A = this chain, B = another copy of it.
Amino acid sequence: MTRSRLFLFDTTLRDGAQTTGVHFSLADKLAVARMLDDLGIDYVEGGYPGANPLDTEFFAADHGLRATFTAFGMTRRAGRSAENDPGLAALLEARAGAICFVAKAWDHQVELALGMSLEENLEGIRDSIALARSRGREVLLDCEHFFDGYKANPAYAIACARAAHEAGARWVVLCDTNGGSQPDEVERIVAAVAAVIPGERLGIHAHNDTEQAVANSLAAVRAGVRQVQGTLNGLGERCGNANLTSLIPTLLLKPGYAECFETGVTAEKLGTLTRVSRKLDEILNRTPDHHAPYVGSSAFATKAGIHASAVVKDPATYEHVPPESVGNRRKVLVSDQAGRSNILAELERLGIRVEKDHPTLGLLLQALKEKEAEGYAYEEADASFYLLARRILGHVPDFFLVESFSVNVERRWNDKGELGIFSDAIVKLRVGGEKLISAAEGNGPVNALDTALRKDLGKYQSFIEDLKLIDYKVRVFQGGTDAVTRVLIEFQDAAGERWTTVGVSGNIIDASFQALTDSMTYKLIRTGATV
């Protein structure tokens, strides 16, 4: 069976930029475009040249992408010729192989929002496409509100799609703009459109407002479309766009799609998907969604003891695809509910070899239960679990000894008569025979302590210089300022490795201190520091 070509269109840099809290710099846009190109995406939509200064700048250069770099903008305004429309002029000036126009396909919206007649809107579609085609551009038309429009007035929605197709648009993209359509509606409506316009010329653009953007996109593919639009990590306004990070593996790995379609993403590149997803979060300084399908750090994590032993016997039990196929990995969580098999699996992953019946394994299980009863949470804190296991099963060197520390927070009036808040820390360490004293200021007490701790580690300083604090989480148990506090801290090194440590204490500073020193010790062991 020959497979049909299915095209992937990414709008992370255009629709994804509408996400609450997301701001791309020019450098960010460049990095994301390159990453998408490398992954094998067919179309990279860059933004709105002309309407947005950043995007105008982004579109001024040739980025040398293999993918078709696409500029987005509106069809010509009412009462203007396409040649005299400044919006169109900016689109045509952009260095983009394709132009994606957007036009409304819902009669009510055309009249209400645009205040133009239905026929004028069709003319605008035809004129704009014809002009862009005459300038040698590949053209797409996003039919905004297509599905709501079709439900209200099918003839007019189809007329918009047909006008674009006849004017020479390579793709007519059916948009579920407010994200409310259901997969069965999408499948039925796309099938009706595909009876008029060949599926090889149709695309789908879905939003996630009922948590079905992925299902809607796949329903449209089953009904005939051959282009899927979406964003990395499902970025987008409101609840986001269709998530390409979920769609791509499903299209490449699942029966019903894998044997029917071919995309620009190879099996090898699919193996970089988890990295691509995390990289985008890093660029945008967002916390990755641990539960994201395929690429989340928990997507292949097993917590229940009975599940853990089953997944080791037969991965298909709780793994619908092999984690490595998307560059992810299995994670067997260690918790007080866990059995021996969870722990053995996790130890093996961490490179600690233990015989299944070794008596110290029982000691480790016991220690784990006691620690978790105190409030420690090892399922997230892999590095603290590693240290706990090595302390019991083997040995952890005392690279450094903290003799004392002191953290001070003061709220007082400064010289200029302003009320300010000041944090500083002093740390006294012993490294080898050397006594080291460091002091630092910080934005808060933990930041001050962290800065002082990592300021001078004597002969080990070079090992920890590339550490970057990525995430800091606090949870207070039982209520009351004198309750137990758990702190989780995530660090990253220059090689991109990440690890999390945990600290628990009645005192938040002390809990943070435990997690910080665990993290430093972990890094020293993993990079082969010796006492």
Give the interface of A toward B (CB within 8 A). 18-21, 23, 52, 108-109, 112-113, 145, 148, 177-180, 182-185, 208-212, 214-215, 218-219, 222, 234, 237-240, 243, 246, 249-250, 254, 256, 285, 287, 290-294, 296-304, 307, 310, 313-314, 316-321, 333, 337, 377, 379-380, 402-413, 421, 423, 442-447, 450, 469-476, 478-483, 485, 490, 505-510, 512-513
Contact = CB atoms under 8 A, between A and B. Distances in A.
Contacts of A474: 474-476, 508
Nearest to A21: B380
B485 A314 contact: no
B180 A508 contact: no
A422 to B, nearest CB: 9
Given A21-B379, A238-B291, 17 more contacts: A179-B320, A183-B183, A183-B219, A211-B211, A237-B304, A239-B299, A287-B287, A404-B412, A409-B510, A421-B510, A443-B481, A444-B481, A444-B482, A444-B505, A472-B480, A474-B474, A481-B512
Contacts of A218: 182-183, 212
Given A240-B291, A285-B478, A303 B20 contact: yes
Contacts of A243: 211
Contact of A210 (B214, B377, B471, B478): B214
Contacts of A412: 403-404, 406
A270 to B, nearest CB: 14
A154 B388 CA distance: 47
Given A314-B109, A407-B408, A302 B237 contact: yes
A319 B148 CA distance: 11
Contacts of A287: 287, 479
What 7 pairs across the A-B complex have the smallest Cβ distances?
A180-B320, A215-B215, A443-B482, A444-B507, A447-B481, A404-B412, A471-B479
B301 A237 contact: yes
A512 B472 CA distance: 17
Contact of A410 (B406, B410, B470): B406
Given A148-B316, A509-B444, A481 B472 contact: yes
Number of copies: 2
Nearest to A506: B443
B407 A479 contact: no
Contact of A313 (B113, B240, B285): B113
Given A210-B320, A473-B476, A292 B510 contact: no
B285 A479 contact: yes
A180 B509 CA distance: 44
Contacts of A18: 303-304, 307
Nearest to A181: B320
Contact of A113 (B21, B148, B314, B380): B314
A337 B48 CA distance: 12
A247 to B, nearest CB: 8
A444 B318 CA distance: 41
A412 to B, nearest CB: 4
Nearest to A15: B304
Contacts of A443: 481-482, 506-507
Nearest to A469: B480
A243 B291 CA distance: 13
15 contacts: A20-B297, A20-B303, A109-B317, A145-B317, A184-B256, A210-B254, A211-B215, A212-B215, A237-B303, A239-B292, A239-B298, A404-B411, A407-B445, A444-B485, A472-B480
A292 B485 CA distance: 26
A333 B19 CA distance: 10
A289 to B, nearest CB: 8
Contacts of A300: 238
A421 B509 CA distance: 9
A506 B420 CA distance: 12
Nearest to A52: B337
Contact of A377 (B21, B380, B482): B21
A209 B299 contact: yes
Contact of A411 (B180, B285, B402, B445): B402
A317 to B, nearest CB: 6
A179 B406 CA distance: 51
A19 B296 CA distance: 13
B222 A184 contact: yes
A409 to B, nearest CB: 4
A316 B112 CA distance: 12
A480 B470 contact: yes
A298 B240 CA distance: 10
Nearest to A427: B411
Given A183-B215, A250-B210, A318 B238 contact: yes
Contacts of A510: 409, 411, 421, 444
